[in-house]
């Protein structure tokens, strides 16, 4: 009869194998490991959500700035809607289930940038992706496809500034590899964020790509202030719309 230690070792081995299988599609090379090992192994601390007067101020910021932005940008959004409709068959807008605060599933609005294929399978957009329409390529390159998320901000499911909301499948791929990933969901997701203005956006083919994003998201939550939000919004206006990873 096997000893208790042998049984426990077998159980641990099974858990590790299951976690490895879930992350099998993620490229994690030895050179990446030196970059993300501290976060994966030790930095799993719980972050404090924005609460009290801070939460009220952030909601006021979102509603006021979001409303002004929506009024100013509405004519542009109307023109984009027409261009999307003329360029390819399908609706101008689409919504996708993504992770919100406390991992609540929210519907995030975007301009449609891909041809309609009827497939519900999630696959991250890649460089020169044949699924992307002509107008869609321009919208993604300039991040104008994200403008309908102003409706999410007014609605209250998103903030102007915060960690970007991930597609559900993306979180499933990384949650076993990066335990700290869940900590980013103690606040509302944002249209822009500290990670985005520092270049960590777009496709996440390697573990290090996602870890860098999470490190910056955690930095934002730990150091949040209205002034930091304003700084990120200003930087987004001047350098956050386009990036080499925006495709």
Q: What is the pLDDT of residues 12-68, one digit of tens each?
A: 444 334 444 444 344 433 334 444 444 544 555 678 889 999 999 999 999 999 999
Check residue 194 and give its pLDDT. Answer: 94
Domain boundaries of the chain, sorted by first residue:
28-239
Task: Report the chain's C-alpha Rg in angstroms.
Answer: 20
User: 148 by DSSP, 3-state: which?
Assistant: coil
Check residue 161 and give its pLDDT. Answer: 97
Give percent of the chain with pLDDT exceeding 70.
74
178 vs 100: CA distance, rounded Å:
18
135 vs 113: CA distance, rounded Å:
7
Check residue 227 and give its pLDDT. Answer: 96
Query: Mean pLDDT across the stretch 175-185?
Result: 83
How do residues 201-223 score in pLDDT, each as one tens digit?
777 777 777 888 888 999 999 99
195 vs 187: CA distance, rounded Å:
15
Are 213 and 181 spatial neighbours (Cβ–Cβ below 8 Å)?
Answer: no
Encode burial over 54-79: b for 16+ CB neighbours within 10 A, e otherwise. Answer: eeeebeebbeebbeebbeeeeeebee
Q: How confident is the model at residue 123 (pLDDT cuts 50, 70, 90)?
A: low
Check residue 166 and give its pLDDT. Answer: 86
CB atoms under 10 Å from CB of 176, counted, come to 17
């Amino acid at each position: 009869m096997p000893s208790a230690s042998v049984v426990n070792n077998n159980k641990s081995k099974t858990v590790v194998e299951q976690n490895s299988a879930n992350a099998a599609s993620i490229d994690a090379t030895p050179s990446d490991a030196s970059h993300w090992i501290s976060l994966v192994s030790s930095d799993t601390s719980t972050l404090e959500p924005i609460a009290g007067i801070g939460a009220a101020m952030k909601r006021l910021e979102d509603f006021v700035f979001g409303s002004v932005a929506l009024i100013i940008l509405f004519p542009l959004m109307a023109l984009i809607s027409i261009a999307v409709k003329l360029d390819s068959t399908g609706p101008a807008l689409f919504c996708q289930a993504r992770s919100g605060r406390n991992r609540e599933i929210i519907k995030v609005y975007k301009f449609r940038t891909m041809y309609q294929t009827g497939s519900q399978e999630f696959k991250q957009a890649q460089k020169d992706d044949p699924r992307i329409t002509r107008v869609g390529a321009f919208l993604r390159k300039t991040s104008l496809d994200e403008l309908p998320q102003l409706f999410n901000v007014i609605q209250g499911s998103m903030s102007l500034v915060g960690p970007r909301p991930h597609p559900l499948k993306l979180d499933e791929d990384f949650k076993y590899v990066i335990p700290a990933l869940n900590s980013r969901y103690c606040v509302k997701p944002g249209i822009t964020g500290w990670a985005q203005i520092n270049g960590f956006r777009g496709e996440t083919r390697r573990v290090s790509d996602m870890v860098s994003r999470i490190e910056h998201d955690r930095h934002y939550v730990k150091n949040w202030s209205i002034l930091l939000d304003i700084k990120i919004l200003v930087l987004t206006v001047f350098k956050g719309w386009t990036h080499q990873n925006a495709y």
